[in-house]
Amino acid sequence: MNPKLTLRDQKKEATAYALSVAAFELALVHGMDGFIVDDIVRQAGVSRRTFANYFSCKEEAVAEYFMNRATSEDENDLLAHLAPDATPLDALYSLLKLQFTSEFLRRLRQFASLANQYPSLEPYILSVFRRLQMAAQEVLERFTHGRYSDGYTHLLAGAVYGAFVPILDGRLNVLLPGESQEDRPGSVSFDQYLTSMFNYLRNGF
At 148, the pLDDT band (50, 70, 90 cuts) reads: confident
pLDDT beyond 60 at 126: yes
Give dist(CA 45, CA 68) in Å, integer.
Answer: 22
Q: For the chain, what is the radius of gyration of the CA atoms?
A: 18
Give dist(CA 64, CA 200) in Å, integer.
Answer: 32
Longest dimension (CA), the chain: 54
| Averaged pLDDT for residues 8-16 | 88
Superfamily designation of domain 7-64: Homeodomain-like (1.10.10.60)
| Percent of the chain clearing pLDDT 90 (strictly above) | 33
Closest CA to 110 of 57, 162, 59, 170: 170
If you average pLDDT over every residue of the chain, what do you get?
Answer: 87
| Averaged pLDDT for residues 112-127 | 91
Closest CA to 39 of 52, 54, 22, 56: 22
**DSSP one-letter code for 70:** S
* pTM score, whole prediction: 0.80
| Averaged pLDDT for residues 37-48 | 97
Give dist(CA 36, CA 26) in Å, integer.
Answer: 9
pLDDT beyond 90 at 39: yes
pLDDT beyond 90 at 21: yes
Backbone angles phi and psi of 114, in degrees to 5: -60, -45
Higher-confidence position of 181 and 43: 43
Domain spans of the chain?
7-64, 72-203
